[in-house]
Amino acid sequence: MSATDVGILALRVLAPVLVILIVLPMLQWVERRGAGLIQDRPGPNRVGPFGLLQPLADVVKFFMKEDLIPSNADRFLYVLAPGLATFAALTTFAVIPYGATLSVRGRAIPLVGADVSIGILYLFALTSLSVYGIVLAGWSSNNKFSLIGGIRSSAQIISYELAMTTAAAGVILAAGSFRLTDVVALQSGSWLSFPYRGWNVVPQLLGFVVFFVSAFAETNRLPFDLPEAEAELVAGYHTEYSAMKFAMFYMAEYINVVVASALMVTLYFGGWSLPGFKPVSVTGVLLSVVIFAVKTAFFVWVFMWVRWTLPRFRYDQLMRLGWKALLPLALLNLFWIAALVLWKAL
């Protein structure tokens, strides 16, 4: 492996991570201005034009705040937890293809961090680990509200992961592969052909709805933000956190939203492909990246839209929805897709 190869690999892996980290503060601005729009109020509008510099001011504020560690906290785990949350969130993006294959000077560069054969399984493995950040934060803070937040989070994420994985199993079945590039390639054909080669959302609408709802629970976003429910638990698992440690939880939440959106786009909405669009030249490949970014941005906006539209669930409602509604629906979707595959319609 030459130095150029190593450089290209590093760029392939780091580019999406850097883009996400740069976009994060802007997402916070979008969320707050969006809240203003939906609730018929201005939102942040004092720092810079349209309040655009507000995220910058917030970042400076996070750095300047006093960094407290409660005296009875478990210091090691208390410091480890926010890092774990951010790490698990950032590494999930490694297997999502964010563009077509770029060919420069006879070199084929697939625009994906690592095209591994167990792509989808890798994603689920890391999402299931992301719960540790929250649970450990809750436990190590030595605060009853934090602890309840952590306990809720562990039960919630396990329950919804089941429905989410079963829904995604439909996609795996249709693609016949765990590889996410295969999943995208299979969705980039014609919508009118038989067997069907268009976006997965059409035959698997039910699976998509289950996946979509579970994604909200997995990312701890409203209406499922029970682990931090401020009306009951002060701030849940991150009650005791301040300064950059709190900011890291905040970042992890936004990264998870971006990754969940990118995953929905990849699994159900054709990834970087559009019907009738063939990326041939370098411009075409760049266009595919733009298409992927626009689709992902749409779902990120939906996450924010829902946050300011729906009230929070009660805990028993959350559990009932996960086990008695979403899981059976995901199984139904799996049977339906299995039947389609059997009839060679997919």
Partner 1 sequence: MTVRFVFDAAAGLAILFACVMVVHRNPIKSVLALVVSFFALAVTYVLLAAPLIAAVQVIVYAGAILVLFLFVLMLLNVPQEVRQRPDRPIHQALSAGAIVAFAAALLAVLRGYGVTPAIPVAEPPPPGDLTPVAKLLFSDHLLSFEAVSILLLAALVGSFVLARREGSP
Residue 68: CB minimum distance to partner 1, A: 22
Instruction: Pick one of 179, 245, 295, 307: the residue that binds partner 1 (CB under 8 A).
Output: 179
Strand partners for 103: 108
Binding mask 188-207 for partner 1 (x = CB under 8 A): --------------------
Q: In this chain, which of 13, 35, 129, 209 binds partner 1, going by CB under 8 A?
A: 129
Q: Does 177 bind partner 1 (CB under 8 A)?
A: yes
* Helix, strand counts (H, E) of the chain: 12, 2
Do you find a cis peptide bond into 42, omega within 30 degrees of 0? no
The answer to whether residue 6 forms part of the interface with partner 1 (CB under 8 A) is no
Residue 70 beta carbon to partner 1: minimum distance, rounded to whole angstroms? 17
Report, in Å, the least distance between residue 260 CB and partner 1.
17
Instruction: Please report where in the chains the tokens 């509200």 appear, as a residue.
Output: 145
- φ and ψ of 102, to 5 deg: -95, 130
The Cα diameter of the chain in Å comes to: 65
Torsion, Cα 166 168 173 178, to 10 degrees, reads -120
Interface with partner 1 (CB under 8 A), residue from 9, 52, 69, 155: 155
Residues that bind partner 1 (rule: CB under 8 A) add up to a total of: 28
- Hey, is 116 helix, strand or coil? coil
User: What pairs with residue 61 in β-bridges?
Assistant: none
* 338 contacts partner 1 (rule: CB under 8 A): no
The whole-angstrom separation of Cα 226 and Cα 342 is: 41
Name the β-bridge partners of 294: none
Among 132, 160, 250, 299, binds partner 1 (CB under 8 A): 132
Instruction: Reduce the DSSP state of residue 56 to 3 states and report it.
Output: helix
Residue 33 vs 179, nearer CB to partner 1: 179
Structure token pair of residue 2: 């030459």
If binding is defined by CB under 8 A, does position 150 make contact with partner 1?
yes
Chosen residue from 6, 107, 117, 325 binding partner 1 by CB under 8 A: 117
In 3D space, the residue among 201, 177, 49, 162 whose CA is nearest the CA of residue 120 turns out to be 177
Contact pattern from residue 64 through residue 93 relative to partner 1, giving x for each residue in contact according to CB under 8 A and a dash for the rest: -------------x----------------
CB of 129 to partner 1, least distance (A): 6
Say whether residue 125 binds partner 1 (CB under 8 A): yes
By residue count, the chain amounts to 346
Question: Taking CB under 8 A as the rule, does residue 151 contact partner 1?
Answer: yes
Amino acid at 137: A
Residues that bind partner 1 (CB under 8 A): 77, 116-118, 121-122, 124-125, 127-129, 131-132, 135-136, 138-139, 147, 150-151, 154-155, 157-158, 161, 177-179
